[in-house]
Amino acid sequence: MSIDEIIYRMLSARIFKNREKLRPDYVPEYLPHREAEINKLAEILAPAVRGVRPSNVFIYGLPGTGKTAVTKYVLRKIETYARNYSQDVKLKVAYINCRNENTSYRVLFNLCNYLNERVPFTGLSTAELFRRFIGALDKEKNLLFVVLDEVDFLVKVSGDDVLYKLTRINPDLHNAKVSIIGITNDLKFVEYLDPRVKSTLGEEELVFRPYTTEELADILADRAKQAFYEGVLDEAVIPLCATLAAREHGDARRALDLLRVAGEIAEREGSPKVLEDHARKAYREIEKDRAVEVIRSMPIHTKLITIAAYLVRRRKSEATTGEIYETYRSLCKKLMIDELTQRRVSDIINELDMLGIVNAKVVSKGRYGRTKIVNLAISEKALVEGLKNDLRLSTLILADSI
């Protein structure tokens, strides 16, 4: 295909009316199947429109269950009402995504910025930053919502010091008030949180459950109407995207990504319609990217075990955990690092199974008892791509005998 053809195809494509409506950070006007959560959160936060401080809220649930969208949606409404009805108290919303702002300093720096308090980008102590923040905040009758989205990142990187201070700030304020909304999809994090922080942050708690396949289909149908030209989507596409996105847990982000990528593939191929096959291709593309991401972020031993599983399977048709362990040990020797115990390796293989990187199944071998057979569940391409940044490890795959 020539460049003119590529561009011509794009120009003549009539697939997306408005692609932006499928982007993950777009907050739609209507959030199907979250009425109960929206109402509950609105009930908790509504006192703000009369200048009364709402309880802190802790929101958790698996990825893509609408936590961020619902929170932004409800706060937007509350802000609008407060602007019209609450004369003496100024309502402010500081939304901070802790995936990016993952240190105490950055969080406080952002909070000062919201209040137009100029502070240096680095160099002050966090105690000083905190003083400046309180000073700026307490100048007026402010009611500040601090939304700490993906708050587990902050706590993992910098501990829960800021969280602790922020949840106990109100007694030190004379004019202003603060409500904290913490959001996380890391359910383990909730258990690890300091009980004192957990109890003040979790004055109110909201749990978002995963969507069902049917619910995902409704969500997609609603967004698709805004995003695609009429009649462009084959009727099998939405149910398929919903089913594929519900495989692990009902994740609306995955569902929307699938639909968007399916549309993009159809567009690239110059197809006038988005078909089932485009959705399947989108699934493979997204799965590969996800596997690459998972591999990239794995600790070294987990990477080595994955490589070992791959190498054993390249030699023979079945790989047992014992064989993987032996290969893993020789890889460790080669790299001169200490190996983990067989027990630990076996645990890691189970984790890899849960992540969808390998498939493990126990089979009975007659009088030799039961043994576990392990298969790599991802493509060689994804494995190579995921290890690309680590030269030592990627050469291990290329070497054909260990």
Ligand X SMILES: Nc1ncnc2c1ncn2[C@@H]1O[C@H](COP(=O)(O)OP(=O)(O)OP(=O)(O)O)[C@@H](O)[C@H]1O
In the complex with Mg ion, the residue whose CB is nearer, 53 or 253, is 253
Q: What are residue 370's DSSP bridge partners?
A: 364
Residue among 277, 253, 249, 243 at smallest CA distance from 263: 277
In the complex with ligand X, the residue whose CB is nearer, 53 or 95, is 95
Question: Which one of Mg ion, ligand X, none is in contact with 34 (Cβ closer than 5 to 8 A by kind)?
Answer: ligand X
Question: Which one of ligand X, Mg ion, none is in contact with 126 (Cβ closer than 5 to 8 A by kind)?
Answer: none
Give dist(CA 211, CA 73) in Å, integer: 18
Question: Which one of ligand X, Mg ion, none is in contact with 329 (Cβ closer than 5 to 8 A by kind)?
Answer: none
Question: Which one of Mg ion, ligand X, none is in contact with 33 (Cβ closer than 5 to 8 A by kind)?
Answer: ligand X
Give dist(CA 44, CA 231) in Å, integer: 42
In the complex with ligand X, the residue whose CB is nearer, 291 or 348, is 291
Residue 167 CB, nearest approach to ligand X (Å): 21
- What angle (nearest 5°) sits at the alpha carbon of residue 103, between those of residues 101 and 105? 100
Residue 250 Rama label (left phi>0; alpha psi -120 to 50; beta): beta
Looking only at residues 24 through 83 of this chain, which bind Mg ion when binding is defined by CB under 5 A? 68
Query: Roughly how many angstroms between the first and final C-alpha of the chain, as a whole number?
Result: 43
Those residues whose C-beta lies under 8 Å from the C-beta of residue 71, and which sit 6 or more positions away, are 41, 59, 147, 149, 181, 183
Tell me if 86 contacts Mg ion by CB under 5 A: no
In the complex with Mg ion, the residue whose CB is nearer, 211 or 328, is 211
In the complex with Mg ion, the residue whose CB is nearer, 68 or 158, is 68
Residue 231 CB, nearest approach to Mg ion (Å): 33
Full strand arrangement of the beta sheet holding 204-208: 90-97, 142-149, 177-184, 57-61, 204-208
**How many residues form the binding site for Mg ion (CB under 5 A)?**
1
Question: Which one of Mg ion, ligand X, none is in contact with 137 (Cβ closer than 5 to 8 A by kind)?
Answer: none
Give dist(CA 137, CA 147) in Å, integer: 16
Question: Which one of ligand X, Mg ion, none is in contact with 64 (Cβ closer than 5 to 8 A by kind)?
Answer: ligand X
In the complex with ligand X, the residue whose CB is nearer, 104 or 185, is 185
Residue 266 CB, nearest approach to ligand X (Å): 20
Those residues whose C-beta lies under 8 Å from the C-beta of residue 130, and which sit 6 or more positions away, are 108, 165
Residue 67 CB, nearest approach to ligand X (Å): 3
Q: Which residue is nearest to Mg ion, using beta carbons? A: 68
Q: How many Cα atoms within 13 Å fall on the side-chain side of residue 112?
A: 21
In the complex with ligand X, the residue whose CB is nearer, 73 or 133, is 73
CB–CB of 56/180 below 8 Å? Answer: yes
Residue 110 CB, nearest approach to ligand X (Å): 18
- The token pair at 312 is 């054993």
Q: Kindly report the length of the chain.
A: 402
- Taking the mean position of all CA atoms in its chain, how far away is CA 239? 23
In the complex with ligand X, the residue whose CB is nearer, 115 or 262, is 262
Residue 67 CB, nearest approach to Mg ion (Å): 5
Residue 186 CB, nearest approach to ligand X (Å): 9
Contacts with ligand X, residue ranges (CB under 6 A):
24, 26-28, 31-34, 61, 63-69, 185, 219, 252-253, 256
In the complex with Mg ion, the residue whose CB is nearer, 155 or 240, is 155
Question: Which one of Mg ion, ligand X, none is in contact with 219 (Cβ closer than 5 to 8 A by kind)?
Answer: ligand X
Residue reference for tokens 């929206």: 38
CB–CB of 253/64 below 8 Å? Answer: yes
Residue 93 CB, nearest approach to ligand X (Å): 16
Question: Which one of Mg ion, ligand X, none is in contact with 54 (Cβ closer than 5 to 8 A by kind)?
Answer: none
Whole-angstrom CA distances from 330 to 309, 393, 400 are: 13, 13, 13
Residue 197 CB, nearest approach to ligand X (Å): 20
Binding residues (CB under 5 A) for Mg ion: these are 68
